[in-house]
Amino acid sequence: MQALMDGDVIAESDDTIYIEGNQYFPLDSVNPDLVSKSDTQYHCPWKGDAQYYNLGENKDAMWGYPNPLPSAELRIKRDISRYIAFDKSVVEVK
């Protein structure tokens, strides 16, 4: 799968996870020059505390769960700690 921003591939991986309508990519598949941490906070009742990231000039365009709750692995059957999803208004996944 590929993640594209403005037509450019910003992430590519055969190891993605589909969760609640979003395709999660390995964090290390994204060009690190485009990524910076955000201060935005969010807590999912079953995944845990999210870490948001800015993607270029796009605030909070990526997020992941670096320390997911045990319920996340039980539900998804995978460790999602190193995976991120993209804001669909900024990034196209195909």
What pLDDT does 66 receive?
97
Distance CA 94, CA 10 (A): 12
Taken in order of first residue, the domains within the chain and their CATH numbers are 2-93 (2.170.150.40)
pTM attached to this predicted model: 0.94
Cα gap 53→26, rounded to integer Å: 14
Compute the distance between CA of residue 3 and CA of residue 25 in angstroms, rounded to an integer.
9
pLDDT tens-digit readout, 22-80: 999 999 999 999 999 999 999 999 999 999 999 999 999 999 999 999 999 999 999 99
Residue 72: predicted pLDDT: 96
pLDDT at residue 51 in the model:
98
* Predicted local distance difference test score (pLDDT) of residue 11: 96
33 residue type, one letter: D
What does the pLDDT read at residue 79?
97
pLDDT (0 to 100) of residue 45 = 97
Rounded Cα–Cα distance for residues 17 and 83 (Å) = 8
